[in-house]
Structure 1
């Protein structure tokens, strides 16, 4: 039994070390062999009517719910009690996670009016709106832990942004809907008004809370023994979600590459990602926080739950699959940026100067 546990831990460690490259490989597979990924999206598992709303059961949202349930399992409620000591830092981080990308997108909307293809401009703006409107990624806690960050602050940013998402997500989508045009603007307003609150409540908040409750009922000791199994399940779900989402948009993007569009998209995504990480650094300097808090702020503000955004796009914006490209690219860039920040600022022990 012990050798099996050690083997699972070794496998989990290897996957964690190379996971970004595994995700990149899944994108290439989706581009050339998209069939299975499209099938995953089309499986119909029926549905139910709840409070006069029909809830359709499909594999992507169910996988997302399981992923967030497992994230809730990993939350140690006693760690969250430490957050009352630094409420200003926590709420400033949440504000930065909302304001920075929203200001970036609104500013970008004026610049993109000069882009030669209005459809491409709308794809970028709507895709980034979905990135900016999503809660902070649970993966940020893993990066923060790897950099010896403040885990309580990381968990607080993830949980509060998730719990507040029914309020903050429509706010961002409505705001970007005002600077987009035509069908894209209508879709953003429609999603913000109707679909997103029920989607987040059922597939994001409910499984997260159930996971936290399950943690309390099962107990820390039993969960510690199952940690490697849970991590392997999470890696498998993340891989399938990324592959399935990429299967809708990457085949066309790579078979008929639009070089100028892909180039400007890459520049914009890297700029937005750098701005969000920089906001975390600036907030740490403003509040004169310790290095641990700086790590949690930078990774929290720099990483959003793009898996949720991609599933939402596939459900609500199936007629605009190219909107997925900015989200897919941002998902890749945020992990590469996190790796760069972790290595240059935290692992190498560079002394950071105050602003």
Structure 2
């Protein structure tokens, strides 16, 4: 099998990669929980590899589209977290940890995998990469600040710890990746086909290691059905809000709408899992674990519906 064919198949398999990681993590449990610290390293590898596709010129060009960028960032870090806070508080008034888990889900940086979905649906790749990078660089400030402002005061927060984690997992690897891209652009382009499978493996390892730390605390039951439904609402909310505003509000072209919808609507749930298992209790991590099971699959369904050929 050609490597390009394998990469194409692995991209299509993305909706099942994360659920597989959750199942393996729960099965292995305490036997690998001691290796959780490696999750930060593997996540940094994901970010670094993703940044190898981003040039300073692409970012500079995309940053000129100020209206587009502001719309996505305001939706992603103001409107959606506020709406999620309201809905989660109404749905789980007696469970502040659940509410905090959903706030964490909605305030975490844009998912690197949103770029893959953007390219699948023929969106503006340069715009998607620029949004991912800009949001990544802002994440050590935006994510902890959003959680501090919106989370229940009874939930303990390690503001400084989250900032440091996001710096090492996302910001520093992104900058290093862009510098390597600037120094050896051709080599980075040639290496992409070899590094894409590495990204999938690292993502799987991050999920396995951090879910394993929760295996003794979580017992899935029908009581989690409201959490599942709430996750679907949160995912659909982000997608439809940004899709509607970008297409019908500011009348962006199709490729821009695709990029804006996937970047604004998808969250880096693997990063949320790392933060949830490091700085919060198991109840706060539960919405994140369920989100991991649902996001990629639901995103595939929504993307196919919103960007079908006959929809434009």
TM-score (norm 1): 0.81
Shift of 1:157: 1.4
Query: Which of 267, 271, 280 is 2:233 aligned to?
Result: 271
Q: Judging changes above 3 Å, is the alpha-carbon distance between structure 1 residues 149 and 312 closer, same or farther for their aligned structure 2 residues? A: same
Contact in 2 for aligned 1:249/1:322 (Cα 8 Å): no
Query: Which of 198, 212, 232 is 2:197 aligned to?
Result: 232
Are 1:330 and 2:297 counterparts? no
Corresponding residue of 2:90: 111
How many residues are treated as equivalent by the alignment? 311
- For 1:237 and 1:210, how far apart are their aligned partners in 2? 18
Corresponding residue of 1:48: none
Contact in 2 for aligned 1:250/1:325 (Cα 8 Å): no
Q: Secondary structure at the match of 2:2?
A: helix
Shift of 1:8: 2.4
**Structure 1 spans left out of the alignment, 5+ residues:** 1-5, 42-57
Deviations 1:105-134 (A, max 9, x none): 3313541465xxx3xx22321211221221
- For 1:242 and 1:113, how far apart are their aligned partners in 2? 26
Q: Secondary structure at the match of 2:34?
A: helix
TM-score (norm 2): 0.92
Query: Which of 236, 243, 251 is 1:281 aligned to?
Result: 243
Are 1:205 and 2:171 counterparts? yes
Contact in 1 for aligned 2:109/2:135 (Cα 8 Å): yes
Q: CA RMSD in A?
A: 2.0
Contact in 2 for aligned 1:248/1:321 (Cα 8 Å): no
Corresponding residue of 1:321: 282
Shift of 1:170: 2.5
RCO higher in 1 or 2 (8 Å CA, sep ≥ 6)? 2
Q: Judging changes above 3 Å, is the alpha-carbon distance between structure 1 residues 29 and 251 closer, same or farther for their aligned structure 2 residues? A: farther
Corresponding residue of 2:272: 309
Deviations 1:327-349 (A, max 9, x none): 12223322122201222222x31
**Structure 2 spans left out of the alignment, 5+ residues:** none
Q: Judging changes above 3 Å, is the alpha-carbon distance between structure 1 residues 101 and 81 closer, same or farther for their aligned structure 2 residues? A: same
1:225-264 correspondence runs (5 A) = 225-250=190-215, 252-253=217-218, 256-260=219-223, 262-264=224-226
- For 1:166 and 1:181, how far apart are their aligned partners in 2? 20
Q: Secondary structure at the match of 1:249?
A: coil
- For 1:230 and 1:321, how far apart are their aligned partners in 2? 33
Corresponding residue of 1:53: none
Query: Which of 69, 76, 83 is 2:62 aligned to?
Result: 83
Q: Judging changes above 3 Å, is the alpha-carbon distance between structure 1 residues 321 and 218 closer, same or farther for their aligned structure 2 residues? A: same
Shift of 1:17: 1.6
